[in-house]
Chains A and B, each alone.
Chain A
Amino acid sequence: MVNIGACVKEPGSTRNNKTGSWRTFKPILDKEKCIDCENCVLFCPEGCINKDYDIDYDYCKGCGICAEECPVKAIKMERG
């Protein structure tokens, strides 16, 4: 049954929707190169890079912002 007033009482439930399937290019992050600037974490529109710089590919849409904004080119966009 549709909730009363179509309210949603399950916060953050778009997590059920794995947008990783949208991706054509995949960001690969090289932690060896990383200098901890946090750019990729702050600028990801999906918020799918955590503070240990693990990318959650379930949601990454492959936009390429993280790679573009990494000052040391620690992130490469690869097909697939």
Chain B
Amino acid sequence: MVKKVFTANRSVAEAVKLAKPQVVPVYPITPQTTISEYLAQFVADGDLKAEYIRVESEHSAISAAVGASGAGVRVFSATSSQGLALMHEILFAAAGMRSPIVLVDANRSLSAPLSIWNDQQDTISERDSGWLQIYAENAQEALDSVLIAYRVAEDRDVLLPCMVCIDGYFLTHTVEPLDVPSQEEVDQFLPPYKPYVFLDPENPMSIGTFTDPEYYMEARYAIEAAMERSKGVIAKANKEFAEIFGREYDFVEPYRCDDAEIIIVAMGSVCGTIKDVIDSLRDEGEKVGLLKLRVFRPFPTKELKEILEKASKVAVLDKNISFGMGGVLYNDIKVKTNADVYGFIAGLGGRDITPEYVREIVAKTKNPTHEVEWIGLKKEEV
């Protein structure tokens, strides 16, 4: 282990180097670009022994990734926003073909209007693709999550692809001190990939077949079951991760929630700001807490219920919008828990979520007038 000061993009690249994928098809897009550049350099320097494929699009990146995974090797790719949307079709195929690909998405808003700044609409819009989704709060978590993602995705009880989501700019381009684990530690945590399917003339199999109504439902149900089983696998991976690396992760991470009357739920980098505001509000005598959601798929219903149902009110912060319905996380929590939930749309297209906005969310949750509110809208522009 060595201490470094890295952006999350660099920390992801370091994690990939340590995970040793054999094929890396990537296509650059802001703010993911430096990941593809770091990896190209690692390969050029011989520090990463991988086949780096300079594909002509994200559609081909994920297609080549599924092909390589089908041929039996560990694969990595990374993208963002428009790139992830372009992958959409093949994301479903990757999950359906049970390819344990790990992909990092640098969260960015979707066009139009065109914007290169952060929100989480891109990955949230892929929530039904069958991919596991982990949201990182900082560069350290980004690095660690890539390693955990491989461990979980490749487990025979799971065999599903996993997306690690890191907020564009807030994480991708911001340097932070972090621990980079040693190769020995990583090798201890992440065994070499043993594929369930592969393409070998000595043992021919057909992958990606055509199913009629006799089999399709069962194949899709198998994804549902694997998603459910992944919960146990994630818990085990988190435990072993803590033993080896000394850092603890969970599906959800409560911050000052024990006696909280109002709990804010959020994902990703904004959790840092929210924690600071909670500390100030606590000093002012307000009983507020934060529940950071780290694993969005599989959805940790049990953990959320346990904590949220103790609070009198819950505020869900969504950096995405399902038009006419509020944020997606808000809706998921409303459906799956008995908490008194209010939704807040904030931070779209890189709009800063300031401490004042967080205070506003708390105030509005105390005396709610709407089920869903947009925070930080410029009234004069609406």
Within the complex, are A and B direct neighbours (CB within 8 Å)?
yes
**Interface hit among A4-12, A18-26, A44-52, A62-70:** A4-12
- Known A2-B215, A4-B222: A9·B205 in contact at CB below 8 Å: yes
Q: Which residues does chain A contribute within 8 Å of B98, judged by CB atoms?
A: 4-5
Given the complex of chains A and B, what is the CA–CA distance between A5 and B208 in angstroms? 7
Find chain A residues with CB under 8 A from B208 CB.
Answer: 5-7
A6 B159 Cβ-Cβ under 8 A: no
Contacts of B196 in A (CB 8 A): 4-5
CB distance from B284 to the nearest CB of A (A): 54
Is the CB of B128 closer than 8 A to any CB of chain A? no
Nearest CB on B from A3, distance (A): 9
Say if the beta carbon of A35 comes within 8 Å of chain B.
Answer: no
Interface size of A in residues (CB-CB distance below 8 Å):
9
The 8 Å CB contact of B207, one of A1, A5, A11, is A5
- Contact between A5 and B205, CB atoms less than 8 A apart: no
Tell me the smallest distance from the CB of A68 to a CB of chain B, in Å.
30
* A2 close to B205 (CB less than 8 A): no
**Chain A proximity mask over B213-227: 1 for CB below 8 Å, otherwise 0:** 001001100100000
Which residues of chain A are within 8 angstroms of B96 by Cβ–Cβ distance?
5-6
Collect the chain A residues with CB atoms within 8 Å of residue B207's CB. Answer: 5, 7
Q: What is the CB-to-nearest-CB distance from B341 to chain A, in angstroms, rounded to a whole number?
A: 36
Q: Is B369 an interface residue (CB 8 A)?
A: no
Chain B residues near A4 (CB-CB < 8 A): 98, 159, 196-197, 222
Chain B 94-113 interface 0/1 with A at a Cβ cutoff of 8 Å (1 = within): 00111100000000000000
Q: A2 CA to B209 CA in the complex, in Å?
A: 12
Q: Does B204 contact A (CB under 8 A)?
A: yes
Q: How far is the CB of A39 from chain B (nearest CB, A)?
A: 29
The listed residue (A1, A2, A7) touching B206 by CB distance below 8 A is A7
With both chains docked as a complex, state the minimum distance between the C-beta of A1 and any C-beta of chain B, in angstroms: 7
Report yes or no: B159 in contact with A5, Cβ–Cβ below 8 A.
yes
Instruction: Please tell me if B367 contacts chain A, counting CB pairs below 8 Å.
Output: no
- A6 to B218, alpha carbons, bound, how many Å? 9
Instruction: Tell which of A1, A8, A11 touches B218, judged by Cβ atoms closer than 8 Å.
Output: A1
**Contact, CB under 8 Å: A6 / B219:** yes
Kindly state the separation between the CA atoms of A34 and B196 in the bound complex, as whole angstroms: 48
Residues of A within 8 A of B206 (CB): 7-8, 11
Which residue in chain B gives the minimum CB-CB distance to A9? B205
Contact B197 A7 (CB under 8 A): yes
Closest B residue, CB atoms, query A11: B204
A9 to B202: give the CA distance in the assembly, Å. Answer: 12
Cα A5 to Cα B218 with chains together (Å): 10
Q: Which residue of A is nearest B98, CB measured?
A: A5
Which residues from B are CB-within-8-Å of A8? 205-206, 209
Residue of B99, B159, B204, B222 touching A2 (CB-CB under 8 A): B222
| B159 contact set on A, CB distance < 8 A | 4-5
0 or 1 for each of B79-123: is its CB under 8 Å from A? (1 = yes): 000000000000000001111000000000000000000000000
- CB contacts (< 8 Å) of A11 on chain B: these are 204-206
Chain B positions within 8 Å of A, measured between CB atoms, are 96-99, 159, 196-197, 204-209, 211, 215, 218-219, 222
Q: Give chain A's interface residues, CB within 8 Å of chain B.
A: 1-2, 4-9, 11
